[in-house]
Structure 1
Amino acid sequence: MALLAGTDLACQSAAFTTDAFSDDFARCLPILKDAGYRRVVLGPLDPSARGIEALGARIHDAGLAPITMAVQSPEANVRSGGPDVRRRGFEQLRRTVEMTQRMGGDQLNGVPYGVHGDAATLPTEREVATTAALVGDVADEAAAAGIMMTFEVVNRYETSVLNTAEQAGRFVELSGSKNLRIHLDTFHMALEETDLLGAVAHALPYLGYLEFGQSSRGLLSTGALDLAGILAGVRQLGYTGRYGVEGFSRVTMQEPVADALRIWGTTFTTGEEFVRDAAALFA
């Protein structure tokens, strides 16, 4: 079943494996291409790791494009109140932009505004403004290199910085950047938004990437969310940007990554099962 013409669709590679340098990852690329996907989303990578350029070449040789992921750590965090830690966080984001360019990518996703999983305390308005300005500076640098930088809006259990489309729009405005874009994910939106289509409409002027994930984190055809209805609604709103799909199953993931994401069960048995099922949504 072919994707609807013009659909620019990406798949999170964790559906197959959480090791981008593995044989399992190499085997997933022709499957994605055959199913009509244009992009593959990578988990966090060390910009100094050996083989980064070769990984990018492997993806491009398969007829796909990579989407990289920006992250922060307690030692390098643009949200930090400590200037040295904040500076290291800023430089870490810049290195990720440079890595994306080396891989031939044109999109950088992730949670660049703080440490993923740090949801214990609310940031002050000043902290949010400072963080937004730093992320906006990196987005401008990325745009100059031909890369669209997005930031994912995740749920309250994963961050306290921003959880809704309204907060995300404010973050873009505080950044002062004309290039920073929002990444919405239906899984997180279902936890935080009272009106999913209203949230998309609110973010639409800045929306660069819309990701579909089910309530179960498994097959898109099985779960509590009416993803077909949501897709029809966002198309009616006029969204014409890039889409992504995401699913997690413990049997396809390295155990530490599955633990970190709280993926405890088997929601599908193979990545191919997931990508074929997900592609049917966009047919």
Structure 2
Amino acid sequence: MKIGCHASVWTGTFDEAGLRTAFEGTAKAGFDLIELPLFHPDDWNVELTKALAAEHGLAVTASLGLTDDINISSEDTAVVERGEKHLTKILEILHELGSSHLVGVIYGPMKKHMRTATELEVQHGQEAIGRLADRAAELGIRLGLEVVNHYETNILNTAKQAVAYVEQVGRDNVGAHIDTYHMNIEESSMFEPVLAAHAAGRLEYVHIGESHRGYLGTGSVDFDTFFKALGHVRYDGPIVFESFSSAVVDPQLTATLGIWRNLWQDGADLAAHANAFIRGHLHAVETIALH
């Protein structure tokens, strides 16, 4: 199991200075892994990223949400093709970085929708994910489809929906990416969705976030139950802390995620607290399992 931190805790720009800040901060806070928001693969400094990962001893994963122009769930096959090419570029970068996972809302646009998804949109998305999964398997990469709230997608809002979707895709290297921030909005409990995804063999990746995206333990997320669920199924995949503040995140992502109030300014203090919080809960659950 690797405990990680989303790079947006440290910076909203991923030029050389931003990458150095993110890697240095993540390592200093005691994490094992850094998750990069790889929205712009054409501009990404792969060699520097590889060097920084080696220098700081950090594993690397990547996440993103799609936009309308690269939506693989579009009814327009030309848009689907653009989206596949975009995600394939990211997979190739991750292969160079020795990464294990590409995750996030990689199955459709991350935005508020004004209607339900059509059958054709879902079909196109599943077919595209299948093709991407085949390429990812060749590169040794797994895909996690993030389950997010109904303000950010009209396709996957619950773990059960994700399991059903992934079963239709029918690839062994595709699973559900669950996130406590979103679960707290959509799910009826913090225990049952973990069990459901695990029982189907589809629990792939975990994000840890508080209900208000601030310091862990200061909101309404039932972390005690959630970590007991992870312990119950003996989950051993990546667990990544995610939090956003417009003091750090770029303006476009701030608008997409609706970050209208900042609950933190100091990413270093926030991240150190999160690392201790996550590891503390995992340790506590382990002691229960041993007795």
Could you say whether these structures have the same fold, taking a TM-score greater than 0.5 normalized by the shorter chain as the test?
yes
Q: Once the 2 structures are TM-superposed, how far is the Cα of residue 23 of structure 1 from its aligned partner?
A: 2.4
Residue 276 of structure 2, aligned match among 276, 280, 283: 280
Report the residue type matching 1:269 in the other structure: Q
Aligned position for 2:68:
74
**Structure 2 Cα separation of the partners of residues 47 and 111 of structure 1:** 16
**Structure 2 Cα separation of the partners of residues 76 and 31 of structure 1:** 32
Q: Please list, as runs of the form range in 1=range in 2, the aligned pairs for 1:245-256 lying within 5 A after superposition.
A: 245-256=241-252
Aligned position for 1:4:
none
**Structure 1 Cα separation of the partners of residues 274 and 261 of structure 2:** 19
SS in 2 for 1:263: coil
2:215 and 2:273 in contact (8 A); partners too = yes
SS in 2 for 1:87: helix
Q: Once the 2 structures are TM-superposed, how far is the Cα of residue 206 of structure 1 from its aligned partner?
A: 0.6
2:73 and 2:123 in contact (8 A); partners too = no
Residue 225 of structure 1, aligned match among 221, 225, 232: 221
Aligned position for 2:254:
258
2:215 and 2:270 in contact (8 A); partners too = yes
**Structure 1 Cα separation of the partners of residues 93 and 248 of structure 2:** 26
Residue 36 of structure 2, aligned match among 34, 42, 46: 42
**Structure 1 Cα separation of the partners of residues 14 and 81 of structure 2:** 28
Q: Once the 2 structures are TM-superposed, how far is the Cα of residue 137 of structure 1 from its aligned partner?
A: 1.9
1:175 aligns with 2:181: no
Give deviations 1:89-122, integer Å, cap 9, x for gaps.
2222212111212333221112111111052221
Residue 85 of structure 2, aligned match among 87, 91, 102: 91
1:17 aligns with 2:20: no
**Structure 1 Cα separation of the partners of residues 48 and 19 of structure 2:** 13
Q: Once the 2 structures are TM-superposed, how far is the Cα of residue 75 of structure 1 from its aligned partner?
A: 2.2
Q: 1:275 to 1:211 in 2, by over 3 A?
A: same
- The answer for unaligned runs of 5 or more in structure 2 is 281-291
Residue 140 of structure 1, aligned match among 134, 141, 150: 134
Q: Once the 2 structures are TM-superposed, how far is the Cα of residue 10 of structure 1 from its aligned partner?
A: 1.1
**Structure 1 Cα separation of the partners of residues 152 and 61 of structure 2:** 21
Aligned length: 277
**Structure 1 Cα separation of the partners of residues 158 and 138 of structure 2:** 28
Q: Once the 2 structures are TM-superposed, how far is the Cα of residue 251 of structure 1 from its aligned partner?
A: 1.5
Give deviations 1:44-68, integer Å, cap 9, x for gaps.
3322215233223222321112211
**Structure 1 Cα separation of the partners of residues 91 and 149 of structure 2:** 25
2:74 and 2:124 in contact (8 A); partners too = no
TM-score of the pair, normalised by structure 2: 0.89
Superposition RMSD on alpha carbons, in Å? 1.8
1:119 and 1:160 in contact (8 A); partners too = yes
SS in 2 for 1:111: strand
**Structure 2 Cα separation of the partners of residues 264 and 118 of structure 1:** 16
Q: Once the 2 structures are TM-superposed, how far is the Cα of residue 235 of structure 1 from its aligned partner?
A: 0.8
2:63 and 2:102 in contact (8 A); partners too = yes
2:29 and 2:272 in contact (8 A); partners too = yes
Structure 1 stretch displaced more, 7-16 or 248-257: 248-257
Q: Once the 2 structures are TM-superposed, how far is the Cα of residue 73 of structure 1 from its aligned partner?
A: 2.6
Aligned position for 1:120:
114
Report the residue type matching 2:215 in the other structure: L
**Structure 2 Cα separation of the partners of residues 242 and 171 of structure 1:** 21
SS in 2 for 1:109: strand
Report the residue type matching 1:93 in the other structure: L
Structure 1 stretch displaced more, 132-141 or 165-174: 132-141
Percentage of identical aligned residues = 30
Q: Once the 2 structures are TM-superposed, how far is the Cα of residue 22 of structure 1 from its aligned partner?
A: 4.8
SS in 1 for 2:103: strand
Residue 203 of structure 1, aligned match among 197, 203, 215: 197
Aligned position for 2:283:
none
Q: Once the 2 structures are TM-superposed, how far is the Cα of residue 188 of structure 1 from its aligned partner?
A: 0.5
Residue 192 of structure 1, aligned match among 166, 179, 186: 186
Residue 151 of structure 1, aligned match among 141, 145, 153: 145
- The answer for unaligned runs of 5 or more in structure 1 is 1-6
Q: Please list, as runs of the form range in 1=range in 2, the aligned pairs for 1:53-64 lying within 5 A after superposition.
A: 53-64=47-58
Report the residue type matching 2:122 in the other structure: V
Q: 1:36 to 1:239 in 2, by over 3 A?
A: same
**Structure 2 Cα separation of the partners of residues 45 and 126 of structure 1:** 25
Report the residue type matching 1:207 in the other structure: L
Q: Once the 2 structures are TM-superposed, how far is the Cα of residue 151 of structure 1 from its aligned partner?
A: 1.2
**Structure 1 Cα separation of the partners of residues 214 and 223 of structure 2:** 13
**Structure 2 Cα separation of the partners of residues 179 and 93 of structure 1:** 15
